[in-house]
Amino acid sequence: MEHGTYRPAADRGFTLLEIVITIVILGAVAGILVPFLNAITHSPEPVIRERATSLGQAMMDEIMAKRWDANTPMGGGPICTGESPDQTTRPTLIDACVTVATPVASLGPDGAELRTNFDDVDDYNGINETNNFTDQNGTTFSLTGYRRQVSVRYIASATNPIDQSTLAAAGTTDTKLVVVTITSPLGETFNFVAVACNI
């Protein structure tokens, strides 16, 4: 054989048909494995979101269970503000009506007040916790990668619907906007928003 030499089958390589079949099989396997691996990679996300939701909702529930203002009488009752009806129309409430709401600059804990004895909505203004959190009983717990922030401010409530972007001065409105913001380890932000009214 002068024109060519015989080569064993092991030395000949792959035929075009074998290569095409291999590509088809690998494509089918990848089509099955990629979604499976993607699901495994993202499987902690629902748990992370659930923790973020619980962290925010627990804080909002705690805040909304408190009095509207430090000057609100014990047992409840309104503070007289610019939006309150005139006292002559509410003679039974005159004694329970305090004339001064907490000034905007003083929103936050009153004096040396600690979390365990916060007693009104705006005491929570300015809370900013990362990784380590405290509940209303003073118990601390850790959630790595989470952040919790609280903002309380007066907003004008004379519009319908209430315009939460319009800030108001203390004593001119019966409404406080409470925003609890949770940032998860995924970088997602969850906002819990509530309106506390002077009633």
Q: What is the pLDDT of residues 167-199, one digit of tens each?
A: 777 777 888 999 999 999 989 999 999 988 887
pLDDT of residue 184: 93
In a domain, 38, yes or no: no
For residue 119, being part of any structural domain is answered with: yes
- Does 129 map to a domain? yes
Question: In this structure, is residue 12 part of a structural domain?
Answer: no
Total domains, the chain: 1
Within its chain, how far is the Cα of 190 from the centroid? 3
pLDDT at 16: 83
Q: What is the pLDDT of residue 150?
A: 96
pLDDT at residue 62 is higher than 90: yes
Q: What is the mean pLDDT of residues 6-18?
A: 69
| 125-146 pLDDT, tens digit each | 999 999 999 888 888 998 999 9
Cα separation of 121 and 71, whole Å? 11
Whether residue 11 lies inside any domain: the answer is no
pLDDT of residue 87: 47
Q: Residue 180's domain spans which residues?
A: 46-197
Mean pLDDT (whole number) for 90-97: 49
Rounded distance between C-alpha atoms, residue 119 and residue 76, angstroms: 12
pLDDT band at 83 (very low <50, low <70, confident <90, very high): low
pLDDT mean over 3-32? 76
161 prior amide bond cis, ω within 30: yes
pLDDT of 77 reads 65
Distances 168 to 38, 56, 103, 104 between C-alpha atoms, Å: 48, 25, 11, 9
Q: Is residue 40 part of a domain?
A: no
Does some domain include residue 109? yes
Average pLDDT over residues 146-157: 91
Whole-model pTM: value is 0.69
Residue 25 lies in a domain: no
| Cβ–Cβ < 8 Å for 191, 172 | no
